[in-house]
């Protein structure tokens, strides 16, 4: 039997990896992939708690998190393509349209 | 046996997560994320969440990552954008955050009397595994269509809004408007 804290530490490792990815990368696609990593880390936590607390509600929450992730990817990549059309780069430092 | 499976899956998940961030070529990053999603699905199976494991593979590996690969190849990124200047600050902050989380998890497991770990929880999980009268999919579906019916409808609305938003954002501007 694997203790629950192992799952929480695994989830923390994956979440922090995604966080560091958002902080250190310039490529906007890798930034979106890092957000996926963070969402998946929370999913691992939800499923582990759902198993250990004998409550299926955690799995339903993962279902909703998945819906939101799919919506986020669709809108995020559409924004990326719209931006790329005006300024052909994926470097986040060159997107400063709203800078005063 | 179970713990060896967990350690294998956890190692692969952690390594492929780090590789997603570390690879310079976005295609390699996406493939690495694919490996991670498959191993997370295996972890879900080991936690008796078979329905979510299937959904993870179908939705994440089948739909979301294909969309990412499509965009990466559509944009044809030849020059690789390197890392930000503050790589070591970011890694250091991440290390500090990880140390804090692990400290909190470990101390909460040992100190608090109402903690979630311990023998009681093991017994609870064992009872749950043995006394499962219906399959995992039936349980999730029943809960989704009774107690969480309203959030389910809201989720469908979110998907509709995302679909309209994606079409509106990605289409070319119509001339003469």
Chain A, nearest residue to B6 by Cα: A2
B119 Cα to chain A: minimum distance (Å): 10
pLDDT level of residue B129 (50, 70, 90 thresholds):
low
B42 Cα to chain A: minimum distance (Å): 11
In a mutational test of the A interface, the residue from B166, B168, B171, B173 whose CB has the highest number of chain A CBs within 10 Å is: B166
The pLDDT tens digits of the residues spanning A36-72 come to 999 999 999 999 999 988 888 899 999 999 999 999 9
Verify whether the Cβ–Cβ distance A74 to B40 is below 8 Å: no
Verify whether the Cβ–Cβ distance A78 to B109 is below 8 Å: no
Chain A, nearest residue to B145 by Cα: A60
pLDDT level of residue B130 (50, 70, 90 thresholds):
low
In whole angstroms, what is the distance from residue A46 CA to residue A34 CA?
Answer: 19
Residues 6+ apart with CB under 8 A from B27: B69, B72, B73
For residue B58, which of A63, A51, A10 has the smallest C-alpha distance? A63
What is the ipTM metric for this complex? 0.91
**A41-50, B84-93, B94-103: the lowest-pLDDT one:** B84-93
């Amino acid at each position: 039997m694997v203790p629950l804290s192992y799952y929480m530490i695994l989830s923390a490792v994956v979440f922090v990896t995604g966080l560091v990815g958002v902080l250190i990368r310039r490529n906007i696609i890798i930034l979106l992939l890092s957000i996926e990593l963070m969402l998946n880390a929370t999913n691992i936590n939800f499923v582990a708690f759902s198993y250990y607390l004998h409550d299926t509600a955690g799995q339903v929450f993962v279902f909703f998190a998945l819906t939101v992730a799919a919506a986020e990817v669709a809108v995020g990549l559409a924004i990326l393509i719209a931006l790329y059309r005006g300024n052909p780069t994926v470097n986040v430092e060159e997107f400063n349209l709203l800078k005063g | 046996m179970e713990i060896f499976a967990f350690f294998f899956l956890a190692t692969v998940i952690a390594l492929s997560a780090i590789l997603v961030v570390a690879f310079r070529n976005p295609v390699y990053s996406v493939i690495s994320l694919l490996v991670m999603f498959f191993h997370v699905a295996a972890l879900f199976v080991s936690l008796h969440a078979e329905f979510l494991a299937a959904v993870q593979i179908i939705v994440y590996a089948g739909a979301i990552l294909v969309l990412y690969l499509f965009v990466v190849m559509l944009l044809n990124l030849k020059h690789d954008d390197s890392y930000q200047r503050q790589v070591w600050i970011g890694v250091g902050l991440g290390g500090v955050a990880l140390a804090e989380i692990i400290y909190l998890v470990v101390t909460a497991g040992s100190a608090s009397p109402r903690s979630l770990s311990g023998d009681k929880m093991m017994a609870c999980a064992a009872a749950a595994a043995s006394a499962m009268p219906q399959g995992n999919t039936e349980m999730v579906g029943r809960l989704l269509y009774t107690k969480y019916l309203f959030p389910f409808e809201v989720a469908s609305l979110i998907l509709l809004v995302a679909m309209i938003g994606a079409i509106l954002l990605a289409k070319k501007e119509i001339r003469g408007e």
